Amino acid sequence: MTRLPALDGLDVAGRTVLVRADLNVPLADGGVADDFRIRASLPTIMALRDRGARVVVCSHLGRPKGPDPAFAMDPVAARLGELGGFSVVKTATVAGPDAARAVAAGGDEVVVLENTRFEPGETKNDPALADALASLADAFVLDAFGSAHRAHASTVGVTERLPSAAGLLLDAEVAALSTLLENPARPYVVALGGAKVSDKLAVMRYLLPKVDLMLVGGGMCFTLLAAGGYEVGSSLVEESMVAEVADLLGSADGGKIVLPEDVVAADRFAEDASYDVVPAFAIPDDRMGLDIGPDTTARFGAVLEEAASVFWNGPMGVFEWEAFRAGTTGVAEAVARSRGFTVIGGGDSVAAIRLLGLENDVSHVSSGGGAGLEMLEGRELPGIAALRKWAEDA
Q: Which residues are catalytic?
A: 37, 196, 347, 370
Amino acid in the structure at residue 212 = D
d(CA 27, CA 71): 9
Beta strands 262-266 and 275-279, pairing class: antiparallel
- How far is the C-alpha of 372 from the C-alpha of 93, rounded, in Å? 30
Task: Find the radius of gyration of the CA atoms of the chain.
Answer: 22
> What one-letter code names the amino acid at 391?
A
37, 78 contact by CB (below 8 A): no
Rounded Cα–Cα distance for residues 309 and 300 (Å): 14
Q: How far is CA 177 from the centre of its chain?
A: 12
Number of CB atoms found within 10 A of residue 372's CB: 27
Q: Give dist(CA 184, CA 213) in Å, integer.
A: 13
Neighbours of 62 (CB within 10 A): 13
DSSP string over 104-130: HT-SSPEEEPPPGGGSTTTTTT-HHHH
Cα separation of 199 and 287, whole Å?
Answer: 24
Q: Is the peptide bond before 187 cis (omega within 30 degrees of 0)?
A: yes
Q: Are the C-beta atoms of residues 145 and 170 closer than 8 Å to each other?
A: yes
Burial class (CB in 10 A: 0-12, 13-18, 19+), 83: middle
Beta bridge partners of 202: none
Q: Which residues of 21-37 are buried (b: 16+ CB within 10 A; e: fewer)?
A: bbbbbebeeeebeebbb
Amino acid type, 10? L
Integer Cα distance of 49 and 30 in angstroms: 29
Instruction: Using the Cα atoms of residue 59, residue 60, residue 61 and residue 67 in order, give the sign of their dihedral.
Output: positive
